[in-house]
Amino acid sequence: MLGDPESARILVVDDEPNIVKTLVLILRNFGYQAEGVDTARAAREHVQDRSPQVLLIDMHLPDGDGVELAEYLTRKVPGAHAFILTGDLGAIGKETRFEMLAKPVHPEVLLSRIRQTLAAPVPQIPKAA
């Protein structure tokens, strides 16, 4: 089942090591298969041989824009859901197809959003006739 934590893979992308370590630790403590990387490049490499279902991406990375990275990663991993983490509260209302979460994100809020996301049906792409 997709919502089952033991089968859910999550990738955390943030250039702040303490944020990566903390989020990965919290997620693993709740049974998720969480991994973390610190650059957009490392995230792109990560999805070459792994398919995370949830992506937690910092908006401002040293080597790229978090929203652009989310666009790339969700194209590479169809069905993956991306959250953009940002300390820039002005960015929260900006137009994007990704849900933005304010940093620091409270663990209960994050876990609730992940659970809801994993429980939602994945949209199916219609097959060509």
The pLDDT tens digits for 78-123 are 999 999 999 886 765 566 789 999 999 999 999 999 999 999 876 5
Domain hosting 91: range is: 5-119
- Whether residue 124 is contained in a domain is answered as no
**Domain of residue 104, CATH code:** 3.40.50.2300
Task: For the chain, state the CA radius of gyration.
Answer: 14
The pLDDT tens digits for 14-44 are 999 999 999 999 999 999 999 999 999 999 9
- Whether residue 129 is contained in a domain is answered as no
pLDDT at 37: 98
Structure confidence at residue 126 as a pLDDT band (50, 70, 90)? low
The pLDDT tens digits for 54-74 are 999 999 999 999 999 999 999
The pLDDT tens digits for 36-52 are 999 999 999 999 999 99
- Whether residue 47 is contained in a domain is answered as yes
- Whether residue 127 is contained in a domain is answered as no
- Whether residue 125 is contained in a domain is answered as no
Query: Is-contact 114 2, C-beta < 8 A?
Result: no
Count of structural domains, the chain = 1
60-61/64-65 β-pairing: antiparallel
- Whether residue 53 is contained in a domain is answered as yes
Over 80: is that where the pLDDT of 77 sits?
yes
- Whether residue 35 is contained in a domain is answered as yes
Strand partners for 54? 10, 81
